[in-house]
Amino acid sequence: MRNNVKKYPFLKSLQFQLIAGFFIITTPIIAFLIYNNFYAIHVVRNQIAQSHENMVSLYMDQIDYSLGVVDDYLYSMAAKDLDLLNLDLVEKGNNQKYYYSKIQLNERIAKDVYDFKIIDGLFIYSVTNQEVLTAQNYKELSFDTDVVQKDIINMLQNRENSQETNDKWYSRIVGQQYILYRTVKIGNVYIGAWVDAKRLTRKLEAVDLAGKGKSVLANETLQPMDEASFFETNKINLSYKSGIYNLTGDNNDYLVVGAKSTKGNFSLVSIILDEKILERLPYLQKIIWFITFGLLVILPILYLFLRKTILIPMNRIMEAMKRVKNGDFGAVISKSHTSYEFDMMNNTFNSMASEIKELKINVYEEQLNCQKAELKHLQLQINPHFFLNSLNIIYNLAQVKQYQLIQEMALCLVHYFRFMFRSNSDFVLLKEEIEHTQNYLKIQSMRFPDHLTFELSIEESLKEYTVPPLLIQTFVENTVKHAVTMDEPIHISILVKLSDEDPNSLQIRVHDTGKGFPVEVLEQLQSEKGIYKEEGKHIGIWNVQRRLRLLYKKQAIITFSNGIHGGANVDIQFPLQQ
């Protein structure tokens, strides 16, 4: 828990704790009310679905019973009526017998069709003669009987070709409507019955619960046999499972139940508008919703009240404290309409901030004086170090009697010390620092002829910017001292440019082709630890690091590394300054 508070400090804020406390109290109540409401809705839906499924199953059983009576009639006729066998004879060779049987059968089905109120017609089809006999039950049908006859012939011819069998009622689309067929075959003769699915659907209006839903016959793929546009527009899926209700539609606003026929490959499916179902919920459920909604409304109102009376005044104090922490000691809490307690806290804070500001100014002035003294002391530490090295070079040149080089070096030393004596300030121009470093390298190249070469590269537009004095020369001197030997030549390159990462920063790289930093020295340099050897501390590098910290704080970066192909790299980056 403590780790979470450190990682997420807002967990300790009063605002968070007030809101969290309110949620801790109200969330279980709201959750219980919502759960109770949804449970009640589920119970009502389940009861309606069970009741409606029982009604659909009952009506489906009635349809199946009526269709079963038709099945019995077709099987009985196929087994007992001998005239059906005569239809299997070729019409031309047996005219009298064939026509007599044809007349007998036509009269029989024309009479028998009225015994079955559920069907629209009976038919007999002779495969041998490709002739169909039909009898119509109702005078007014939704489409022409000739269309049905053509569909019967086409259907049974295709069945003969594919040798398909079907011992149940099945659906076919004729034009834009569905027809249910039932056929029984004896020899090469089919007897069957058909019913208009649309007319059959109209008889199901009693199941529609006073206009609150629809009942429809669906084929084996559960596609509606009537009012297909309505189901397609509302995206209603007629899939159902026995004993389980299903919600479907654009917004799950229809409840679906159904029952499959035992006599055919179709189902009776009923949909009920969910809105009508939920009207049966007791008023208690509406009260639950009202309480839940009321709690959700009270929460923002309570938050706004607490925000105005407590949180906003506290935020003013915290913002002022943050500004003081960041160094803005002029931060003052403005007067506002608030409670007596917060008014006293604001006045006390303003008084304390004013006293801290005066104290901080006094301390800051003392720190500035100490910092200036420290900078000058650090800068002067460089002069004796370089002076001793210079005298050592002159001494060596005198030993080999290089008087011309002694004169040239003496002139270089004059320029060098003239720079030192007039650079008793925090900053010098970059071009002056470069000239001074170049002067130093000329002196060292006299000391190591043919073993030390150098190259300086600087953009012309950068020469008028200022840098701390002896910044580059210190690292060049360190390279000469530790990398240049008489064993092999060393090349020193100095590159000054704008930083690639920050165009408002200056980047300086000092690179040599020596052996690079030893591992232990590189680790100490990267961690800014003091380096100690027999001759003492490397005061030059420490001096530069310390001066950059004092002048630029954390904006100055010095990195030390070894090159991929050998040699040492020193990279310095700090803000541009005119």
Same domain, 270 and 419: no
Whole-angstrom Cα distance, residue 190 to residue 203? 29
Give the per-residue pLDDT at 2. 47
pLDDT surpasses 50 at 59: yes
Confidence of residue 147 (pLDDT cuts 50, 70, 90): confident
In a domain, 93, yes or no: yes
Per-residue confidence at 535, pLDDT binned at 50, 70, 90? very low
Pairing state between β 121-126 and 189-196: antiparallel
Measuring CA to CA, how many Å separate 410 from each of 223, 291, 390, 395?
Answer: 108, 97, 9, 12
Residues 267 and 389 occupy one common structural domain = no
**393 and 269 assigned to the same domain:** no
Question: For position 420, what pLDDT does the model report?
Answer: 66
pLDDT tens per residue, range 236-268: 888 888 877 788 888 888 888 888 999 988 898
| Ordered alpha helix ranges (H), 401-518 | 403-422, 430-447, 471-483
> What pLDDT, on the 0 to 100 scale, is given for residue 275?
73
Q: What is the mean pLDDT of residues 76-84?
A: 86
For tokens 């489409």, the residue is 143
User: What's the DSSP call for residue 517?
Assistant: -
Q: Is 481 left (phi over 0), alpha (psi -120 to 50) or beta?
A: alpha
Q: Give yes or no: residues 269 and 415 share one domain.
A: no
Query: Does residue 212 lie within any of the structural domains?
Result: yes
Rounded to whole angstroms, the Cα distance separating 388 from 442 reads 17
> Is 25 part of any domain?
no
pLDDT at 276: 72
Q: Which domain holds residue 261?
A: 47-278
The tens digit of pLDDT for each residue in 18-40 reads 677 777 777 777 777 677 667 77
End-to-end CA separation in angstroms for the chain: 51
d(CA 498, CA 577): 12
Per DSSP, the residues of 293-337 read HHHHHHHHHHHHHHIIIIIHHHHHHHHHHHHHHTT-TT--PPP-S
Instruction: Say how far apart CA 131 and CA 561 lie, in whole Å.
Output: 103
Is 34 among the domain residues?
no
Confidence band, pLDDT 50/70/90 cuts, at residue 136 = confident
pLDDT-based confidence at residue 4 (cuts at 50, 70, 90): low
Q: Of 232, 261, 278, at which residue does a domain stop?
A: 278
Residue 1 has pLDDT above 50, yes or no: no
* Domain-embedded: residue 32: no
The verdict on residue 374 lying in a domain is: no
Give the model's confidence band at 281: pLDDT under 50 very low, under 70 low, under 90 confident, else very high: low
* Residue 449 resides in a domain: yes
- Residue 495: closest CA among 478, 481, 512: 512
Specify the range with the lowest mean pLDDT, choosing from 9-13, 288-292, 536-540, 547-551: 536-540
- Token pair 């409304």: residue: 297
Q: What is the CATH number of the domain that holds 417?
A: 3.30.565.10
Residue 312 within any structural domain of the chain: no
Among 230, 251, 278, the domain boundary falls at 278
Determine the pLDDT at residue 235.
Answer: 87
**Number of structural domains found in the chain:** 2
Task: Choose the final residue of a domain: 243, 278, 313.
Answer: 278
Average pLDDT over residues 214-219: 86
